[in-house]
Structure 1
Amino acid sequence: MTAPPLSPTPASEPAHTTTTGPAGAPVGASLSVWAYVAFTGVVFGVGGLLAKGLIDDGVDAFTVTWFPFLVSGLIGMAAALVRKQLTAAAAGPAIVLGITASAGPALLFNIGFEDLPAGIVTLLISLGPVFTAVVAHFVFADERFNVVKASGLALAIVGVGVLATGSIDGGGSPTRLAIVLIGALIAGTAAVLARRLVMQHGAAALIGPQMLTAGVVALALSPVLGRELAPEGGYETWHVLAMAGFGVSTYLGFRSMLIANQVGTTGQVSVIGYCVPVFGVIGGIFVFGDDLTLSLVLGGLLILVSVWVIAVGSRPRLLPVAAPLPTAPTDQTLTPP
């Protein structure tokens, strides 16, 4: 099944012309996708470590989800209102993304952080791009699976597996492992939906309602599922400051990811998923006391190579833009007879 051609970059975003990719996305813009990918990967990687630290310090996994999302949602709504970028048409899609691409995966990942080492959780999170690549093959004409992309994904999975080995100090609950894996499946599939919706509505119109929806959903589920809204003994000052800062970085990270989806392919954006285990294992060494081993070094090198391979396999095909047809000049001072 082939999806209909996607609309070009919304008018609210500046276009870079001369050549375009098969979906109509300007190639000049797609060259900057790696800056967004790198920034988002760092933000999400550090955010994962912060979430693990807060949860280990007694803050509930649901609180670590709804608090930052509410902060990021308020920031996004305020920014969109000031710039008059909110649209009624984007409200429904933003709510869907808030549930599928934000609240759902984040809650499942944070539940995994409650009992599993950071290395195991981030290893499972890194499987998200695999689901993304498979689903995108059936949705986007410019996202066909190819040998190069398949090789990069396989190499990345092997690298992540080797890398995470150094931080795995034992087994974990099969149920928790399944929960995190389901989160990766949802996140990977939602990434395809995110690209389609952001091409239709633009990142600015989606980010505020999306984050606010995620925060409200996670907060509403907390008492229903018997979760404590505050840790025993109350919040410490650093908890509040950390989650507020987490909210700011969450807004920046998701906004960056939506823009990356707007100017790049899902294959390129999926590279974000491989940054998370890098931070998970490095954080395990310096924060959680994991040992530096040969497997960590080798795994890191494999991932760096895989990023380059995926970039090559996801590079859009250049299509020349036809020159505009000449039009007769009009005299605006003339009046019709």
Structure 2
Amino acid sequence: MQRAWVFFWLLALIWGSSFLLMRIGVAQIPPAQLTFTRTVIAAVAMNITLLLLRKRYPTDRSTLIWLVVIGLGNTAIPFTLLAWGEQTVESGMTSVLQAITPVFALVIAHFTFADERITPLKIMGIALSFGGIVVLTSRDWAAGQGFGGDLSGEIAILVASFCYGLFTNVSRKTLRDKKVEPVVVAAVSMTAAAVSAAVMMYTLPLLGERAPVSYASLTPEVLRAGVVLGVLNTFVAYLMFYYVIEGLGAARAAMVTYVVPVVAVTLGALFLNEMIDATLLLGSALILAGIALVNLRLLQRRAKLETPLAQQPEKL
């Protein structure tokens, strides 16, 4: 278990650094191209892993279609929205806004699964989280930016969080109904995400977004950011997460959600000189407190029911 805790903190550091790396990457790489870069690297690595494990793609058309949809909605679109938002929004702020994903997931699950119901405690958590969003975006309204500048980027990040919340439930339903192993879901959906990102990379410029750039023109720092996002923050982190689940259980592994924004805000301040002010601290505290209330009963229930992963392979 001690080793699993080491991986838990490493995972928090890796995922927390994603926002720093995206902020560095979008300085020269258009958002959709940055998404393509990290997903194509991760897709190649995941498909090699699939071959080594002697797993295969699903053969029925319905399952494949759902996995492609998951790749588009749970990876390609939110990755691109996050990168687009980080063109104007600081990495620490992005991580805090993205942390609200479990709240969106809960609201959607309430209308999707019989075992996920919104209780008064969860309503309080939702209210706190959205109060945190109001606090975080208040700086832009106070500055008279309206929907321009940082606020449009913040909205893009919140839409990305909604996508994660929505497709977390779609993924859960697919895993349950289609009985597809998570490693297969990851390989197929990441491949679909890479293809989708390639399409967006060349179509979004028609809508006024930046055109793709030559990788040869990138500075070493930006190129490293893109490669590390693909190898470490997407592929390795996925494998590490399931190792942490195996060692600590799903309930404890899910607690990494609370650590990631702290890591991201700290890294942003250290390496990008991002400002940490009272508004950021108050908004972050409200969102994390809300998420804690939303997840409290769920984590307690999982902790009681949990057995080692080897006895519950369906959790993978």
- Which TM-score tier does this pair reach, normalised by the shorter chain? 0.7 to 0.9
- When structure 1 is superposed on structure 2, of 164-173 and 128-137 the one drifting more is 164-173
How far apart, CA to CA, are the structure 1 residues paired with 2:128 and 2:96? 14
- 1:216 matched to 2:216? The reply is no
Bigger drift between 94-103 and 82-91 goes to 82-91
After TM superposition, give the deviation of residue 196 of structure 1 in Å. Answer: 1.9
Q: CA RMSD in A?
A: 3.9
User: What runs of 5+ residues in structure 2 fail to find an aligned partner?
Assistant: 308-316
Ranges in structure 1 where 5+ consecutive residues have no aligned partner: 1-32, 322-337
TM-score w.r.t. structure 2 length? 0.73
Q: Which stretch of structure 1 is more off in the superposition, 299-308 or 236-245? A: 299-308
Q: Which moved more, 1:124-133 or 1:187-196?
A: 124-133
**Distance (Å, rounded) in 2 between the aligned partners of 1:202 and 1:193:** 14
Could you say what secondary structure the match of 2:122 adopts? helix
| 1:236 matched to 2:219 | yes
Alignment of 1:109-128 (within 5 A): 109-128=82-101
Deviations 1:30-83 (A, max 9, x none): xxx999987665433211111011212x12222211111111111110001111
Higher alpha-carbon deviation: 199-208 or 310-319: 310-319
Matched residue, 2:81: 108
Q: Residue type matched to 1:83 in 2?
A: L
Taking the aligned partners of 1:255 and 1:103, their CA distance within structure 2 comes to 19
Shift of 1:140: 1.9
Asked if 1:53 corresponds to 2:20, the answer is no
Larger radius of gyration: 1
User: In the alignment, residue 194 of structure 1 is paired with which amino acid?
Assistant: S
- Quick one: which of 52, 60, 72 aligns to 1:99? 72
CA contact (8 A) 1:148 1:312 kept: no
**Residues 185-205 of structure 1: CA deviation (Å, up to 9, x unaligned):** 222111111122234212111
Aligned length: 285
CA distance in 2, matches of 1:159, 1:179: 17
Whether the 8 Å contact between 2:74 and 2:164 is mirrored in structure 1 is: yes
Deviations 1:181-235 (A, max 9, x none): 3222222111111122234212111111211211121122212222433269702
Going from structure 1 to structure 2, the CA distance change for 1:132 and 1:305 (only over 3 Å counts) comes to closer
Paired residue for 1:196? 173
**Deviation string for 1:264-322 (max 9, x for gaps)?**
58xx95x666555434433332233234434555555556655543442213376799x
The corresponding residue for 1:290 is: 274
Structure number with higher helix proportion: 2
Q: Is the 8 A contact 1:75 1:251 kept in 2?
A: yes
Q: Go from structure 1 to structure 2 and tell me whether the alpha carbon gap of 1:148 and 1:257 turns closer, same or farther (over 3 Å shift).
A: farther
Amino acid at match of 1:111: W
Relative to structure 1, the CA distance from residue 320 to residue 197 in structure 2 (aligned partners, 3 Å threshold; closer, same or farther) is: closer
The AA in structure 1 aligned to 2:183 is: A
**1:116 match: secondary structure:** coil
Q: Quote the Cα distance in structure 2 between the aligned partners of 1:150 and 1:133.
A: 10
SS where residue 55 of structure 2 aligns?
coil
Of 183-192 and 249-258, more deviation after overlay is shown by 249-258
Is the contact made by 2:92 and 2:268 (CA closer than 8 Å) also made in structure 1? yes
Q: Distance in 1 between matches of 2:42 and 2:262?
A: 25
Within-5 A mapping of 1:149-168: 149-158=122-131
**Residues 41 and 164 from structure 1, CA distance in 2 versus in 1: closer, same or farther, beyond 3 angstroms?**
farther
2:235 pairs with one of 251, 254, 257 = 251
Normalising by structure 1, report the TM-score.
Answer: 0.69
Paired amino acid for 2:48: A
Is residue 2:62 matched to residue 1:83? no
The letter for the 2-side match of 1:69 is: T
CA–CA distance in structure 1, aligned partners of residues 190 and 215 of structure 2:
27
Task: Give the aligned partner of residue 73 of structure 1.
Answer: 43
- Give the direction of change, closer, same or farther, for the CA distance of 1:295–1:319 in structure 2 (3 Å limit): closer
CA distance in 1, matches of 2:173, 2:51: 23
For 2:170, give the aligned amino acid: L
Q: Conserved in 1, the CA contact under 8 Å of 2:22 and 2:225? A: no
Residue 3 of structure 1 aligns with which residue?
Answer: none
